Homo-oligomer: A and B are copies of this chain.
Amino acid sequence: MAKLQHGLFYEEARDYICARKKQFMIKITLPDGSVRTYEAGVTALQIATDISAGLARVAVSAEVNGEVWDLTRPIYTDATVKILKFEDDGGKSTFWHSTAHLMAEAIEYYYPGAKFWVGPPVENGFYYDVDLGGVKLTAEDLVKLEEKMKELAAQDNPYIRTEMPKAEAVAYFTEKGDEYKLDLLQGLNDGEITFYTQGKFTDLCRGPHIPSTGLIKAIKLTNIAGAYWKGDERNKQLTRIYGISFPKQQQLDEYLKMLEEARQRDHRTLGRELEIFTFDDDVGPGLPLWLPKGAAIIEKLEALAKRTEKEQGYVRVKTPHIARESMYLRSGHLPYYAESMFPPMELDGNKYYLKAMNCPHHHKIFSAVQRSYRDLPLRLAEYGTCYRYEQSGELFGLMRVRSLQMNDAHIYCTKSQFEEEFMKVNELYVRYFKIFGIEKYVMRFSKHDPKKLGQKYINNPELWQETEEMVRRVLIKSNLPFKEVADEAAFYGPKIDIQIWSAIGREFTIATNQVDFAQAERFDLYFTNEHNEKERPIIIHRAPLSTHERFIGFLLEHYAGKFPVWLAPEQVAVLPISDKYLAYGRQVRDTLVKNGIDATLDERPEKIGRKIRDTEVRKVPYMLIVGEKEQEQGTVAVRRQGQGDQGVKPLNEFVEQVLYEIREYK
């Protein structure tokens, strides 16, 4: 560690400067708007302790002027500071990143000479890519590492940040013979290099980290995989070890339980078993084919959307799946978005692209007819299928696909109509959440970053402020749970990403609701206002039911494949006790079908027990058992999925009940 001592030069120099500045105090602004005064060099941990001992205990890192920092890093200037707990996004990633270092320490303990590439936090946990010099890890090895990590965590070693001159850093890893870190160093500049040390492990790392290992109370190493260095298969294959950690054992237990439930509810497995969708090599990856039962669910979702949208004054349109290059040059999707689009087709000297979004086509429909203020708001809806290019490694079941059937609509309105329209869209979301039993959801309000105007965001600061203010007002007024996130808006306006949680507590980002004050200009869209002047409409992009692909993927997990009656592709299965009652069974089935109920008849010459078991596998909401008594009395013996025997009912009463459930989205 001798070499590291030199690194202190910078810190010493800063302490010296700091000591001179101590006469100056700094202002710390907290999230509630309150301002506290501290001596320069104060740490977020000290601030947290000032706020409450309880907060200091659960604090893992801090947001300082929008950047996530170590709790123990000195603050020398005025700053806004938010203490992050594990529950915060920035908190989780710090926690998991620190656990990755802890794992590295355990690996170095058992496998001295192991060389480390990168070890980032991911959506659920972390991983580290390691060169173990040919050693193959087994499940037992993971347990061994896990135990060592727990032991090291209990030592409560602090994570120590050290600034490091580039030459020193290079010398350190050259002596260590670590070509991976030397490769990383090549891309870094002098003055921005830091090392982190906890216990006996030191790593080149940008940070931030939690104060000490003692916060890590529960650890699970979940998986071992191979990973080519830099993702390039011509390079050496490294060992990737995945894990997750929590500040409480209970959280890990819940997570593992959720994982097990999610495994049982895996939409890919359920999709195959229930014959919802399939993939085919001749069609291509990421392009699901919807089997009859999947298409039936699609039809029902579309019927819901069409009904509610019609009630709310939407009109439907239908547009081609392709357009010329000029369309996307006009919209600005080309060249910036080209990577996410399918490559063009060359035709008659023109380039044609598969559409990756429906908006440009809808704008063309807006402008195809002369519009006046009387025609607004104009709400154009379409279940348009879009095509987006995702790398094949990114594709995942229905969740990451290349063909997307979107519950899309674009609302063209005047500025004075905007708030009401935006509000109605939010209400539509909540109405859908209720129908699907989605109890937990958050509106993630993504705003622009004033520093990136003209680059990442269209350069119109007044309009940004105005529309973001309008969006905020609507969110507050509609009393929806929301959080604000800076620097995540769309190019052309603020947006709301809707995060929902499935029945087993898994999070999905399902839909967006976007404000657009730029496309009207680009497409020269206008209406004639009351004063007979041309005026640009504001556009709302919205897709509450997301894409069929993602939403049905979510629903498969959410319902564990047991769709509610209204949405089930097969709502009622009629099972005659024996062939003698086939004719009556047929009569029952036909009555149901005539009433618009999706009913089937099991005509196989099988025993009733077998029929029931086979129907259960298909997760059909209702089974009707019919035999002698039922035939004589015109009744049906009802079995409800998950609830068992419901007794014998007259057929017409049962029909009424099912129709009621369908109507009420039960």
**B-contact 0/1 string along A339-355, CB 8 Å cutoff:** 00011111110101010
Q: Say whether, besides A298-B318, A315-B292, A342-B352, A323 and B282 are in contact (CB < 8 Å).
A: yes
A289 at the interface (CB under 8 A from B): yes
Contact, CB under 8 Å: B295 / A318: yes
Task: State in angstroms the CA–CA spacing of A288 and B340 once bound together.
Answer: 25
Within 8 A of B (CB), among A253-306: 275, 278, 280-284, 287-292, 294-296, 298-299, 306
List A residues at the B interface (Cβ < 8 Å).
Answer: 275, 278, 280-284, 287-292, 294-296, 298-299, 306, 315-324, 326-327, 330, 342-348, 350, 352, 354, 360-361, 364-365, 368-369, 374, 380, 382, 385, 387, 389, 392, 403, 405, 604
Contact, CB under 8 Å: B387 / A282: no
User: Which B residues lie within 8 Å of A346 (CB)?
Assistant: 343
> Closest CB of chain B to A326's CB: distance in Å?
5
Contact, CB under 8 Å: B320 / A283: yes
Task: State in angstroms the CA–CA spacing of A346 and B287 once bound together.
Answer: 16
> Closest CB of chain B to A350's CB: distance in Å?
7
> Closest CB of chain B to A109's CB: distance in Å?
42
User: Which B residues lie within 8 Å of A281 (CB)?
Assistant: 324, 326
User: Which B residues lie within 8 Å of A345 (CB)?
Assistant: 342-345, 354
Tell which of B322, B368, B369 touches A280, judged by Cβ atoms closer than 8 Å.
B368
User: Which B residues lie within 8 Å of A288 (CB)?
Assistant: 320
Contact, CB under 8 Å: A348 / B294: no
User: Which B residues lie within 8 Å of A361 (CB)?
Assistant: 283, 289
- 20 CB-based A-B contacts, threshold 8 Å: A275-B369, A282-B323, A282-B364, A284-B320, A284-B322, A284-B350, A289-B368, A290-B318, A291-B365, A291-B369, A292-B316, A292-B365, A295-B315, A296-B315, A321-B403, A322-B354, A342-B345, A342-B347, A348-B392, A354-B354
Among A281, A287, A299, the one with the most B-chain Cβ atoms within 10 Å of its Cβ is: A287
The 3 closest A-B pairs by CB, nearest first: A292-B315, A290-B318, A282-B327
Task: State in angstroms the CA–CA spacing of A382 and B369 once bound together.
Answer: 31
User: Which B residues lie within 8 Å of A275 (CB)?
Assistant: 369
User: Which B residues lie within 8 Å of A348 (CB)?
Assistant: 392
